[in-house]
Amino acid sequence: MKSVGWITLALLGALLTGCMTGPDYEKPDLTVPEQWSQPLEGGEKDASPERIHWWTDFSDPTLESLVARALASNLDLQTAESRVREARASLIMTGAALWPQVNTSASYQRKQSVEPAATGGGPSGRGTAVFSQNGLQGISVTGSTPGGPSVTLSPDLSGQGNTTVSVSMGTEGAAKPPSRYSNLYQAGFDASWELDLFGGVRRATEAARAEIEAAEESRRSLLLMVAAEVARTYFDLRAYQNRLDISRKNIRTLEESLELVTARFNAGLTNELDVKRAEAQLANMRSTVPAMEYYVEQAIHRLGILSGLEPGALREELADAAPLPPAPPEVLVGLPSELLCRRPDVRYAERELAAATARIGVATADLFPKFSLTGAFAGADDTFAGLRLGANHTWSLGPAIQWPLFDAGRIRANISVQNARQEQALINYEKTVLISLEEVENALVRYAKEQNRLVELTTAVEASQKALDIANDLYKQGLVNFLNVLDAERTLFAAQDQRVQSEANVLTSLVALYKALGGGWETPVEAGEQATDRMTHGKQETQNGRLKKFNPSKGVFM
C-alpha cells in the first residue's frame, strides 16, 4: 500500500507540473509607419538591404582591415562576450533547481576519554575498603589496590579470639582497566527534490533564457557601435590629413605671395602695409598646422585603442595621407517595420521585457506551498569494516511541505514590484522603438542635406580658385591692390577646408545611417557568434615587433 501511495503522489506531481503561475509572455504588437516620413533624396532606396558588412560599401581595404581587427580584438567586445558566458552559466544554475539534489558525507573521529586516578595503598594512592556481614563471624573488612594484594580482616565480635586475617596477591591474569581511546566511522548520503508544481523554477529558467538573449543582443549592439566608431574615426583621420595637406599647400602659396609683394615693395611699387598683411595671413595659416597634426595623432591613437592595441601601434600603417573614399551610389534602407528585427537595441529591450514578464511568475509562485521529497541513509561503527554491516545503519524517506502562513505582505509586495518592473520594461521597449525611428529619420535628412552642401562647396571652391587667379593677374598688372588678392586667398582656403570637412561629414552621416538601421543586418540567429568567427582572421599579428598590414582580398596579413 505504501508503494501505491508513492506512485499516486508521483502521478499527481506529473499532472501538476503543467501548472505555471504568472502571465505567459506575448511580444507586443507595436504600430510603426509604413514608410519613412523623410523623402529619400540622398540615393537611398526602400529595398531591403542585403549586404551584411556595410563598411565594405566604401571599397577601402584599410577601413575593412581596421574594422576586422577591432571586431576581433576590441576589449569592450571581449567584456560583452564574457557577459554572455556569464548569462549562460546563470541559466544552468537556475535550471539546476528542477533536478534532485544529492549530497554525500563521511567522517572519522578518534576520541580519548579521561579515566579517574587509580586508588590503593602505596605511592599510587589510597586503598578501598568493603564492609560485609557473614553470619556469626560479624563484619568482614576487605582492602585492595588495582593489580595488587587484597587484605581481608574478620574480627571476632563474640570475644572468643577467633579473629582472622587473609592476604591474596595479584596475578598476571587480573582484569586490566578499559582502554582510554575509541574510533568512530560515519558515512551516508541525503537527497531532496523540490517539485516545481506551480512553475516558479520554470519561470525563473524562462527569465534566464531571455537574459541570455538580451546579453547577446547587447554584444551585437556593441559590435555595431565599434564598427561605426572605427569607420567614423578613420574618416576623421583622412579628413584631418587632407586638411593638413591643404594648409601646407596654402602655406607655400602664401609664401610665394609674400615674396612677390616684398619684391614689389623693394621696387617701390607698393607700400609696407601689403607686406605686413601678407605676413599676417601666412602666420595665421601656419597656426592651423599644429592643431591639425594633433587631431591626426589623436585619431591614430583612437583607432589603436579600438583595435585592442597600444595607442601608437598603428602609426606606421596610417601615417601616410590617403584620400577619403567615395560614398556608395545608393543605400538600401528598407522599411520602418524591418527596423524592429534589425536593430539589436530594440531586440535587447524586447528580451528584457520577456524576462521581466517571467519574473512575475517567479514571484507569484511563492504564494503557493512547496512540496519536496527527502531521503537519507547513514551508517556508523567503531571500525571501518563495520560500515558494510547493517547493524548500525539508519535511513529515512518521506515527503515535506512548506507553506508561508504569515509574512507581513512580503510576497504580494514582491509581486507588485515585478509587475511594476514589467510595466517599465514595456515602456522602455516602446521608447526604444520610437528613438530608433527618430535616429533613422534624422540620419536620412543629414545624409541627404550634407550631400547637397558638398555640391555647393565644390562649386564654391572652383569659383574661388578662378577668382584668385584673376586677382593675382590684376595685381601683377597693378590694376588692383593686394587686399583683393588676400581676400581671394582667404575665400579659397576656407572653401577648400570646408569641402574636405563636408566630404567627411557625408561619410560619417552615412555611417550614422547604417548604425541607425542596425546594420550589419544579421538575423538574431546569424549574428553574434558568426560575426566574431568571420573576423577571426583579422586578429593582429606581429613580426619583429612591427604590425603587418591586413589584405582583405586575400584574407591574410602581408
How high is the pLDDT of residue 128? 47
How high is the pLDDT of residue 428? 95
- Whether 277 has a pLDDT exceeding 70, the answer reads yes
- Whether 168 has a pLDDT exceeding 60, the answer reads no
CATH number of this structure's domain 27-99+200-368+406-557, picked from the four choices 3.40.50.2300, 1.20.1600.10, 3.30.450.40, 3.40.50.300? 1.20.1600.10
Please provide the average confidence, as pLDDT, over all residues in the chain: 79
Question: What's the distance, Cα to Cα, between the start and end of the chain in Å?
Answer: 80
Task: Return the exposure string of 28-67: e unless at least 16 CB atoms fall within 10 Å of the residue's CB, then b.
Answer: eeeeeeeebebebebebeeeebeeebbbebbebebbbbbb
How high is the pLDDT of residue 114? 57
| Rounded Cα–Cα distance for residues 220 and 521 (Å) | 11
How high is the pLDDT of residue 166? 56
pLDDT band at 532 (very low <50, low <70, confident <90, very high): very low
Task: Dump pLDDT digits (tens) for 434-483.
Answer: 999 999 999 999 999 999 999 999 999 999 999 999 998 988 888 888 88
Task: Dump pLDDT digits (tens) for 301-321.
Answer: 999 999 999 998 999 999 999
User: pTM value?
Assistant: 0.74
pLDDT band at 538 (very low <50, low <70, confident <90, very high): very low
- Whether 119 has a pLDDT exceeding 70, the answer reads no
Higher pLDDT, 501 or 129: 501
The mean pLDDT of 511-532, rounded to a whole number, is: 62
pLDDT band at 289 (very low <50, low <70, confident <90, very high): very high
How high is the pLDDT of residue 105? 87
Lowest mean pLDDT among 24-33, 111-120, 487-496: 111-120
How high is the pLDDT of residue 527? 39
The mean pLDDT of 363-391, rounded to a whole number, is: 81
Helices 272-306 and 61-73 cross at an angle (nearest 10°) of: 40
How high is the pLDDT of residue 139? 52
Most confident of 30-34, 74-78, 153-157: 74-78
**Considering the chain, what percentage of its residues have pLDDT values greater than 90?**
39
pLDDT band at 188 (very low <50, low <70, confident <90, very high): confident
pLDDT band at 1 (very low <50, low <70, confident <90, very high): very low
| Rounded Cα–Cα distance for residues 416 and 412 (Å) | 6
**Considering the chain, what percentage of its residues have pLDDT values greater than 70?**
75
pLDDT band at 84 (very low <50, low <70, confident <90, very high): very high
Task: Dump pLDDT digits (tens) for 137-147.
Answer: 445 555 555 55
| Rounded Cα–Cα distance for residues 464 and 485 (Å) | 11
Task: Dump pLDDT digits (tens) for 312-352.
Answer: 899 999 999 999 999 888 888 888 888 888 889 999 999 99
Lowest mean pLDDT among 77-91, 103-117, 140-154: 140-154
CB 378 within 8 A of CB 330: no
How high is the pLDDT of residue 424? 95
Task: Dump pLDDT digits (tens) for 41-61.
Answer: 766 776 676 666 889 889 999
The CA–CA distances, whole Å, from 165 to 153, 154, 162, 429 equal 5, 6, 10, 109
Spell out the SS3 assignment of 332-389: ECCCHHHHHHHCHHHHHHHHHHHHHHHHHHHHHHCCCCEEEEEEEEEEEECCCHHHHC
Q: What is the DSSP letter of 481?
A: -
pLDDT band at 22 (very low <50, low <70, confident <90, very high): confident
How high is the pLDDT of residue 150? 59
**In the structure grid, which three cell numbers stand for residue 387, read together?**
560500515
Phi/psi at 539 (5° precision): -65, 150
- Whether 530 has a pLDDT exceeding 60, the answer reads no
Of the candidates 441, 472, 489, the one whose C-alpha atom is nearest the C-alpha of residue 285 is 489
How high is the pLDDT of residue 142? 56
